[in-house]
A and B are shown apart, each in its own frame.
Chain A
Amino acid sequence: MPKPERRPGPVLTLGGFDGVHLGHRQIIARTRDLARRAGAPAALLTYEPLPAQLTHPDFTYVLTPLAEKVLLFAELGIETVHVVRFDDALRLTGPEEFVDREVLGLSPSAVVVGHDHRFGCRGEGDVELLRRRLTAGGARLEVVPEIEVAGGPVRSTRIRERLLLGDVGRAAELLGRPYRLEGQVASGTGTGRRLGFPTLNLVVGEREKLVPADGVYAVRVELDGREHPGLLNIGHRPTFRGERRTVEAHLLDVRLDRPPARAAVLFLVRLRPERKFPDPGALARQIAADADRARGLFAGRGQTLDSPHASKKI
Chain B
Amino acid sequence: MRGILNLAKPSGASSYDVIRRVKRVLGPEPPALGHAGTLDPLASGVLLVLVGAATRVSRFLMESDKEYEAEVEFGARTDTDDATGAVVAESAVPELDRAGLERLLARFTGTIEQVPPAFSALKQNGVPLYRLARRGIRVQARPRTVTVHRLELIDWHPPRARLRAQVSAGTYIRSLARDIGRAAGSEANLAGLVRTRSGAFRLVDAVEPAILTPGLIARSLVPVADALPGLPRILLPGTDAGRLARGQRIELDGAPDSGFALAITDDRRFLAVVRADHRTIRPVRIVYAET
Q: Do A and B bind each other?
A: yes
Point out residues on A near B: beta carbons under 8 Å.
45, 48-49, 57, 65-68, 70-71, 73-75, 78-85, 87-92, 102, 105, 121, 182, 205, 208, 262
B63, A73: Cβ atoms under 8 Å? Answer: no
List 14 A–B pairs whose Cβ atoms lie within 8 Å, in order of A's numbering.
A48-B121, A65-B121, A67-B127, A74-B132, A74-B137, A81-B140, A85-B144, A87-B38, A89-B169, A90-B170, A91-B59, A121-B59, A208-B121, A208-B125
Chain A residues whose CB sits within 8 angstroms of the CB of B144 once the complex forms: 85, 89
Point out residues on B near A: beta carbons under 8 Å.
14, 16, 36-38, 59, 62-63, 116-117, 119, 121-127, 132, 135-142, 144, 169-170
A121 CA to B127 CA in the complex, in Å?
31
A84, B142: Cβ atoms under 8 Å? Answer: yes
A67 CA to B139 CA in the complex, in Å?
10
A74, B135: Cβ atoms under 8 Å? Answer: yes
Chain B residues whose CB sits within 8 angstroms of the CB of A66 once the complex forms: 119, 121-122
A48, B119: Cβ atoms under 8 Å? Answer: yes
B125, A182: Cβ atoms under 8 Å? Answer: yes
B125, A68: Cβ atoms under 8 Å? Answer: yes
A275 CA to B117 CA in the complex, in Å?
44
A238 CA to B178 CA in the complex, in Å?
48
In the assembled complex, how far is the CB of residue B30 from the closest CB belonging to chain A, in whole angstroms? Answer: 16
Name the residue on A nearest B17 (C-beta). Answer: A57
In the assembled complex, how far is the CB of residue B99 from the closest CB belonging to chain A, in whole angstroms? Answer: 33
Chain B residues whose CB sits within 8 angstroms of the CB of A48 once the complex forms: 119, 121
A70, B142: Cβ atoms under 8 Å? Answer: no
A65, B142: Cβ atoms under 8 Å? Answer: no
In the assembled complex, how far is the CB of residue A83 from the closest CB belonging to chain B, in whole angstroms? Answer: 5
15 more CB-based (< 8 A) A-B contacts, given A65-B121, A91-B59: A66-B122, A67-B127, A70-B127, A70-B132, A71-B135, A74-B135, A74-B136, A79-B136, A80-B140, A84-B142, A85-B141, A88-B37, A92-B59, A92-B169, A208-B125
A71, B121: Cβ atoms under 8 Å? Answer: no
A208 CA to B125 CA in the complex, in Å?
9
In the assembled complex, how far is the CB of residue A302 from the closest CB belonging to chain B, in whole angstroms? Answer: 29
A65 CA to B141 CA in the complex, in Å?
16
Chain B residues whose CB sits within 8 angstroms of the CB of A262 once the complex forms: 126
A83, B119: Cβ atoms under 8 Å? Answer: yes
Q: Would A80 and B137 be within 8 Å (CB), given that A66-B121, A92-B63 are in contact?
A: yes
Name the residue on B nearest A83 (C-beta). Answer: B141
Name the residue on B nearest A48 (C-beta). Answer: B119
Name the residue on B nearest A85 (C-beta). Answer: B116
A67 CA to B37 CA in the complex, in Å?
26
Chain B residues whose CB sits within 8 angstroms of the CB of A65 once the complex forms: 121, 124-125
Give me the 3 closest cross-chain CB pairs, A-B, nearest first: A89-B170, A85-B116, A74-B137
Chain B residues whose CB sits within 8 angstroms of the CB of A92 once the complex forms: 59, 62-63, 169
A78, B142: Cβ atoms under 8 Å? Answer: no
In the assembled complex, how far is the CB of residue B63 from the closest CB belonging to chain A, in whole angstroms? Answer: 6
Q: Would A67 and B122 be within 8 Å (CB), given that A80-B137, A88-B37 are in contact?
A: yes
A82 CA to B144 CA in the complex, in Å?
13
Name the residue on A nearest B34 (C-beta). Answer: A55
Among candidates A57, A81, A121, A208, residue contacting B137 with C-beta atoms closer than 8 Å: A81
A68 CA to B124 CA in the complex, in Å?
10
A67, B123: Cβ atoms under 8 Å? Answer: yes
A79, B121: Cβ atoms under 8 Å? Answer: no
A65 CA to B132 CA in the complex, in Å?
14
In the assembled complex, how far is the CB of residue B56 from the closest CB belonging to chain A, in whole angstroms? Answer: 13
Name the residue on A nearest B134 (C-beta). Answer: A74
Name the residue on A nearest B117 (C-beta). Answer: A85
Name the residue on A nearest B119 (C-beta). Answer: A48
Chain B residues whose CB sits within 8 angstroms of the CB of A70 once the complex forms: 122, 127, 132, 137, 139
Among candidates A49, A81, A88, A102, residue contacting B139 with C-beta atoms closer than 8 Å: A81
A81 CA to B136 CA in the complex, in Å?
11
A274 CA to B123 CA in the complex, in Å?
32
Chain B residues whose CB sits within 8 angstroms of the CB of A57 once the complex forms: 14, 16
A80 CA to B127 CA in the complex, in Å?
16
Chain A residues whose CB sits within 8 angstroms of the CB of B169 once the complex forms: 88-89, 92
Q: Would A83 and B124 be within 8 Å (CB), given that A88-B38, A88-B170 are in contact?
A: no
Chain A residues whose CB sits within 8 angstroms of the CB of B141 once the complex forms: 82-83, 85
In the assembled complex, how far is the CB of residue A69 from the closest CB belonging to chain B, in whole angstroms? Answer: 9
A102 CA to B140 CA in the complex, in Å?
12
Chain B residues whose CB sits within 8 angstroms of the CB of A121 once the complex forms: 59
Chain A residues whose CB sits within 8 angstroms of the CB of B127 once the complex forms: 67-68, 70-71
B135, A49: Cβ atoms under 8 Å? Answer: no
Chain A residues whose CB sits within 8 angstroms of the CB of B170 once the complex forms: 87-90
In the assembled complex, how far is the CB of residue A91 from the closest CB belonging to chain B, in whole angstroms? Answer: 8
A212 CA to B138 CA in the complex, in Å?
31
Chain B residues whose CB sits within 8 angstroms of the CB of A87 once the complex forms: 38, 116, 170
A79, B119: Cβ atoms under 8 Å? Answer: no
Chain B residues whose CB sits within 8 angstroms of the CB of A67 once the complex forms: 121-127
Name the residue on A nearest B146 (C-beta). Answer: A89
Chain A residues whose CB sits within 8 angstroms of the CB of B121 once the complex forms: 48-49, 65-67, 208
B138, A80: Cβ atoms under 8 Å? Answer: yes
Most buried by A among B14, B59, B136, B137: B137
Chain A residues whose CB sits within 8 angstroms of the CB of B132 once the complex forms: 70-71, 74
Chain A residues whose CB sits within 8 angstroms of the CB of B14 once the complex forms: 57
In the assembled complex, how far is the CB of residue B128 from the closest CB belonging to chain A, in whole angstroms? Answer: 9
Name the residue on A nearest B132 (C-beta). Answer: A70
